[in-house]
């Protein structure tokens, strides 16, 4: 199933995506409520064209756990060694926006904003000290994330990544969640990122250094994963920081991230004074 949170005529509901339509379901609660209780949405009679609804961020997680440098070529393009254990950092949930909303920042805060297209894993069942063998039992599904990063703050001003990764609007998510039964192999998905129509990233999840079971097992040994939490699995090569010369997002740019089997997450960029 492709499950979406959408708003139509000022009413927010959970829907099912089929083709170019969203079908109303029997769910009026939040996505987290549905996931936590193991509920399955049932399609009702109403449906609306996607052009007539507003897609919201598909989930509001308690935690966003991000993995750094999980593709060898991305590690190399940033001048780093390939990690021998997962690099973990966090993004604030307040940084989440939906597809179609604008990534915004002030020139007074950052001038080096970068893109990072990523597969996001949605946790479906509470996980603590989970084995790699049991890890997929704790997955609800997958969505797309853009780990937007202020490189000047992240790498050249601060001694850690939190601020540069967590500015408001710096975690676009969507357009919906695809349940895990719809993805035959999450380690064989193409990821493409286009900036204003120009292809910048063209990777595949088969190139993960640490696969999804490894990440879930590793993270769950450190802290409990709750239903609705997200694990952002890292970005492939092709970020602006790795280009020569370095290239960053500009006012008026559009970022579109497409992951095979899921869809496309698109956001414009707006820079203020």
pLDDT in tens, 228-259: 999 999 999 999 999 999 999 999 999 999 99
Q: Is the pTM of this model over 0.95?
A: yes
Tell me which fold the domain 64-272 belongs to: Fumarylacetoacetate hydrolase; domain 2 (3.90.850)
Residue 265 tokens, joined: 């997450």
**Is 59:140 a contact under the CB 8 Å cutoff?**
no
Residue ranges of the chain that CATH labels 2.30.30.370: 2-55
Q: How far is Cα 54 from Cα 4, in angstroms, rounded to an integer? A: 10
**Edge-to-edge strands, sheet with 198-204:** 103-106, 263-272, 254-259, 190-195, 198-204
Residue ranges of the chain that CATH labels 3.90.850.10: 64-272
- Its CATH class, for the domain covering 2-55, is mainly beta
Q: What is the pLDDT of residue 80?
A: 85
Closest CA to 175 of 59, 64, 67, 88: 59
3-state helix, strand, coil in the chain (%, to 5): 20, 40, 40
Instruction: List, for residues 194-231, the tens digit of each pLDDT value.
Output: 999 999 999 999 999 999 999 999 999 999 999 999 99
Question: Strand pairing partners for 120?
Answer: 143, 232
Instruction: List, for residues 11-29, the tens digit of each pLDDT value.
Output: 999 999 999 999 999 987 7
């Amino acid at each position: 199933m492709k499950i979406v949170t959408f708003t139509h005529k000022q009413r927010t509901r959970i829907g099912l995506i089929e083709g170019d339509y969203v079908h109303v379901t029997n769910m009026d609660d939040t996505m987290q409520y549905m996931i936590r209780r193991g509920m399955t949405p049932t399609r009702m009679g109403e449906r609306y064209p996607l052009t007539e609804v507003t897609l919201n961020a598909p989930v509001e997680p308690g935690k966003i756990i991000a993995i750094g440098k999980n593709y060898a070529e991305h590690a190399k393009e940033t001048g780093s060694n390939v990690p021998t254990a997962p690099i973990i950092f966090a993004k604030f949930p307040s940084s989440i926006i939906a597809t179609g909303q604008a990534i915004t920042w002030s020139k007074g805060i950052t001038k080096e904003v970068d893109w990072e297209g990523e597969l996001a894993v949605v946790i479906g069942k509470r996980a603590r000290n989970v084995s790699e063998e049991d890890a997929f039992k704790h997955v609800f599904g997958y969505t797309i994330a853009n780990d937007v990063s202020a490189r000047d703050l992240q790498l050249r001003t601060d001694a850690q990544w939190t601020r540069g990764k967590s500015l408001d609007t710096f975690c676009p998510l969507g357009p919906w969640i695809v349940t895990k039964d719809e993805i035959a192999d999450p380690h064989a998905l193409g990821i493409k990122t286009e900036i204003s129509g120009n292809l910048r990233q063209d990777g595949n999840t088969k190139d993960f250094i640490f696969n999804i079971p490894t990440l879930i097992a590793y993270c769950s040994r450190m802290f409990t994963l709750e239903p609705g939490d997200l694990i952002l699995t890292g970005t492939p090569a092709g970020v602006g920081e790795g280009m020569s010369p370095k290239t960053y997002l500009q006012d008026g740019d559009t970022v579109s991230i497409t992951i095979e089997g899921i869809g496309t997450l698109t956001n414009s960029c707006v820079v203020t004074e």
